[in-house]
């Protein structure tokens, strides 16, 4: 498999975690979003949206991180990212979507570039914009993790929600957010620090990361 991504992309980060949790090997094809490499003609031929990540497996190319993670779950079901119970699976998908649909899209690179170029936002304004959307999402996740967690975001083993949560916490720190208000989230993050899959997926450990 080939993962097309960027070291600091939150969506790429969540896919790296999923691949690592399942113990799946892959090659990296790095596309520096700051340089617009994701808009190169050869990559657009694979992914017409010109975004990362995309996962290539022989002739198959899967785009969009939720679809990639679901595809991995269906094609490599063990170890599972989703619980067995159908109601629990719905709860997990809802928690993941809270991050993937309601938080992350509002603080990804193309939105931040627009804030800076179209509205002359400085860094403090960008930080405030990101916090405006991250904080209420984290408030809800704090309640849900308290309700459903058992050491991890849902239950007693790492899964789909953690693939989304850990990159979003990394992103929140990039916007200079103080995270003390969410001890449940931080407890999950602390556990992830000792887990080899999360260590391997961390942005700083990627081959294309800044020195």
As beta bridge partners, residue 155 has 149
Whole-number pLDDT of residue 27: 97
Segments making up each domain of the chain, as ranges: 2-79, 86-197
| DSSP percent split of the chain into helix, strand, coil, nearest 5 | 60, 10, 30
- DSSP state letter for 33: G
Q: What pTM was computed for the model?
A: 0.96
Question: What dotted CATH number matches 86-197?
Answer: 1.20.1050.10
- DSSP state letter for 120: -
Question: What dotted CATH number matches 2-79?
Answer: 3.40.30.10
% of the chain surpassing 90 pLDDT: 98
Whole-number pLDDT of residue 211: 85
pLDDT tens sequence across 89-102: 999 999 999 999 99
pLDDT tens sequence across 124-134: 999 999 999 99
């Amino acid at each position: 498999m080939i993962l097309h991504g960027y070291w600091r992309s939150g969506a790429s980060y969540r896919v790296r975690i999923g691949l690592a949790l399942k113990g799946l090997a892959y090659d990296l094809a790095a596309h520096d979003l700051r340089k617009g490499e994701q808009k190169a003609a050869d990559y657009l031929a694979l992914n017409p949206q010109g975004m990362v990540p995309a996962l290539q497996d022989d002739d198959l190319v899967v785009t969009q991180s939720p679809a990639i993670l679901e595809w991995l779950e269906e094609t490599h079901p063990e170890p599972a990212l989703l619980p067995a119970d159908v109601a629990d699976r719905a709860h997990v998908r809802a928690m993941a979507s809270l991050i993937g649909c309601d938080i992350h899209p509002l603080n990804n690179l193309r939105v931040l570039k627009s804030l800076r170029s179209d509205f002359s936002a400085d860094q403090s304004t960008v930080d405030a914009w990101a916090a405006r959307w991250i904080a209420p999402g984290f408030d809800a996740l704090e309640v849900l993790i308290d309700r459903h967690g058992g050491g991890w975001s849902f239950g007693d083993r790492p899964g789909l929600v953690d693939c989304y949560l850990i990159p979003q916490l990394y992103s929140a720190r990039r916007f200079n957010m103080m995270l003390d208000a969410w001890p449940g989230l931080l407890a999950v993050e602390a556990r992830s620090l000792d887990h080899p899959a999360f260590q391997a997926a961390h942005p700083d450990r990627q081959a294309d990361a800044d020195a």
